[in-house]
Chain A
Amino acid sequence: MNKNMTDTGVVLTDIRKSFGNLEVIHSIDLKIAEGSFVVFVGPSGCGKSTLLRMIAGLEEVTDGEIEIKGRDVTDLDPSDRGIAMVFQSYALYPHMSVRDNLAFGLKMAHTPTAEIDARVAAASSILKIDHLLDRRPGQLSGGQRQRVAIGRAIVRKPDVFLFDEPLSNLDAELRVSMRIEIARLHRELGNTMIYVTHDQTEAMTLADMIVVLRDGRVEQTGSPRDVYEDPANAFVAGFIGSPRMNLLNAEWAGDGYVLTGGQRIASALSASLLKPGERATFGIRPEHLSVSMTATAESLRAKVDFYEYLGGTQFLYCQLDDGQAVVAEHRSPIAIKDNEVVQLTCDPGNRRFFDSSGLRLR
C-alpha cells in the first residue's frame, strides 16, 4: 500500500478537553504509526469516545494539537481531515438507498460520476453488499447495515479509519464474524485504524497497539501482549483479561516475602522498594494459579464458593482464609465441587506486585 514518507499516521500532542470547568481529557500525548491498528479501551466514561471524536473533529479540542500524516488538522472541518468514521449506531441516511449512502460523501466533494460509481462498486464488492445497493437501510439486517456503514467509510479513501464501538449493537455471533472482517479489511487496505471499544476481546484480537484509558488519562500503551503480561499498574492489570487478575491485599514482610491470605509468598522484589509492614497488592491471573489438594510451602488455602464450568475449563470462585475473593482456572478433568477446600499455587514468574498507590513494583 502507499507508505508515506512519514511513518506517523496520527500524532496527538498535549490534547485536553473541558466541558465548562470540568476537564475530561487531561493532556494526552500519543504517536500512532502509519498503518497500525490502535484500540482505545477503558471503562465507560474514561473519555475514549471523546478522544476519538476529537480526532474526527466532531468535538472541539480545548488545548493541544492533532496531526494526521504530518498535517495539523486541529482546527479543520471533519470532512477535510482525511478521516472516515463508523458509528456504533451505524448512522445511515434512512431516506437514501445503500448506493446513495455510499456515494453521498463523494457527491458532496463533487467527485465525477464515473469515479463515484467505480469506488462504490469497489467498496461494495469488498464488503459483499453488491446485491443490496438498491435497498434502503430499513430493509437491511443489523450486520448488513454495519457493512454499509463501513462501506461508506471505505469509499472516502481516508488516511485514518475511526471506529466508535462499531460492533456493540450486533449479536454475539455476528460480532465475532464482523470482528474478523474488520481485521481482514485492515490487512487489505493497510490504513491506520483507530478503534474504540470496551470489549477487551475485540481490543486484544484486533489491536497492534492498545491504549488503556482511565478518567481521561492514558494508563498504558503497548501491544496486547505487553499490556496483558506486563501491566504498568494495578488498574491495567485488573482491566485487561477476563476473568480479571486477582488483586490481593498484601503486606511486605521485609525479607523478600509478602503476606497475603495467611501465607508467605516469595517475591523477586528488591527489599529496598518497600518498608516492612507496608501495604502492597499481590496480583496473579486465574490461569496462573494451579489447583491441587495437597498443601505446599507457598500454597494458598481457599474454599470454593461456586464454580463455572465452561467445557474445557472450570473457573473456581474461592475465598481465602482471610476472606479475600480469588478466582482460579482449573483445567484438570477432575471436577471440583462447591465448598471443597483447595490449595492454590503459582509460579514465581507469574507474580505481579503493586505498591499501595497501584504502581507496579519491579
Chain B
Amino acid sequence: MTTAKVSPSKQRRARKAFRANGAYHAAGIAICLFFLAPFVITFLASFRHGTEARLPPLPPWPTNGLSIDSYLSLDTFGAGIWQHTINSLLVSLATVVLTVAVSLLAGYGFSRYRFPLKNVLFVLIIATLMIPFQSILTPLFIILAKLGLNNSLLGLTLVYVTLQLPFSVFMMRNAFDAVPKEIEEAARIDGARDLRLLVRVLLPLVLPGIATVAIFAFLNAWNEFLAALILLSSNEKYTLPVLMMAVRAGRLGAVNWGAVQAGVAVMTVPCLIVFLLLQRYYMRGLMAGAVK
C-alpha cells in the first residue's frame, strides 16, 4: 500500500534528507579520520622491522611483514618495560583512588555543610591552581626528603594527589550542588545517615563527577614527566614518561624510532581503556526523574 504510490513531494523530501544526512556523515567521518590518523600510524609503525622503522612513515603500514622487534628493543631500556609500566600503573591508580576519596568528601562538605570561612577556604583551594607547580618543585623535593619519601612511588603519588585536588574538589562540589537537597532530606527521613547516605544515595548521583575526576587524575598522573624525573632517582622506579625520555634520547646519538613508536603505543593504550570504561558515566545525565 505504501510502496504503491509515492508522491513527488515525498520523494523530493527523501532525496533532500539523504543529501543532508550524507554530508553530515561524511564530515563526521573526515573529522574522525583526522583524529585517529596519528594513533593508527603510530600503532602500525610500532610493528615494523628494526631497519624499516627508521625510514619515513610512507606508507604508514609495515611493508616487510609484522614484527615485534620494536617492543623487544623497548624492553632493553631501563629496568624493562613491565617494571616501568607497573610503576606508572601503581602511581596512577593510587592517585585516582586517593583523589576521588578526598575530593568526594571535601566536595560533599563544601556543598552541604555550613561552617565559618567556608568560601574563603574554597577560594584558597581553587587559588592554588594559579601556582605553576614547577615553581614549587624545589620545596616539594625538600619536604619529601624530610619525610623520607624522596625516590619513592608513594611520595610521587602524594604529590600528584596534591596537584590534582583543587580541580577535583571544585568538580565534586559542583556535582553535589547539582543534587537537589530534597533527595538528601528524603533519604534522611528514610533513615539513611552519614556514610550510608553518601554511599547508597548520593554516590550514584555524583558518578558523572567522579568519572570526570578519575579520568583527569589518571591521565595527569600517567602522563606527568617533570615531577617524576626530579623526585625519582633510581632507575627501577622510573615511570613510563621518564623511560620514554631515555628511549627518545637514544644511544650514542642514534634514536631507535621503532622503540619510540612502541613506547607511545604502550603509553596510549591504558588511557584509552580508562576513558572508554568511564565515558558512559561521564556522559550520562543521571538526574533525570529525580525532581520535577
Q: Which residues of B contact A85 (CB under 8 A)?
A: 185-186, 189
| Residue pair A104, B182 in contact (C-beta under 8 Å) | no
| Residue pair A108, B196 in contact (C-beta under 8 Å) | yes
Q: Is B289 an interface residue (CB 8 A)?
A: yes
Task: Count residues of B near A (Cβ-Cβ below 8 Å).
Answer: 24
0/1 string, B188-203, CB within 8 A of A gives 1: 1111110010001100
Question: Which of A58, A95, A109 is the most central at the interface, judged by chain B CB atoms within 10 Å of its CB?
Answer: A95
Question: Which of B182, B189, B200, B290 is the most central at the interface, judged by chain A CB atoms within 10 Å of its CB?
Answer: B189
Question: Which of B186, B192, B205 is the most central at the interface, judged by chain A CB atoms within 10 Å of its CB?
Answer: B186
Q: Is B286 an interface residue (CB 8 A)?
A: yes
Q: Which residues of B contact A138 (CB under 8 A)?
A: 288-289
Min CB–CB distance A159 → chain B (angstroms):
13
**A94 contact from B190, B200, B289, Cβ within 8 A:** B289
Which A positions have Cβ atoms within 8 angstroms of B? 56-58, 77-79, 83-85, 87-95, 104-105, 108-109, 136-140, 142, 145, 152, 156, 169
A78 and B291 in contact, given A91-B180, A91-B182 (Cβ under 8 angstroms):
no
| Residue pair A109, B287 in contact (C-beta under 8 Å) | no
Q: Which residues of B contact A84 (CB under 8 A)?
A: 189
In Å, the complex CA distance between A89 and B187 comes to 14
The 7 closest A-B pairs by CB, nearest first: A138-B289, A137-B289, A105-B190, A79-B191, A91-B182, A89-B291, A138-B288
**B286 contact from A79, A89, A94, Cβ within 8 A:** A94
Q: Which residues of B contact A169 (CB under 8 A)?
A: 292
A95 and B286 in contact, given A108-B191, A169-B292 (Cβ under 8 angstroms):
yes
Min CB–CB distance A281 → chain B (angstroms):
40
| Residue pair A91, B190 in contact (C-beta under 8 Å) | no
Q: Which residues of B contact A83 (CB under 8 A)?
A: 189
A139 and B186 in contact, given A94-B205, A105-B191 (Cβ under 8 angstroms):
no
Q: Which residues of A contact B286 (CB under 8 A)?
A: 94-95
A87 and B204 in contact, given A79-B189, A108-B190 (Cβ under 8 angstroms):
no
Q: Which residues of B contact A108 (CB under 8 A)?
A: 190-192, 196
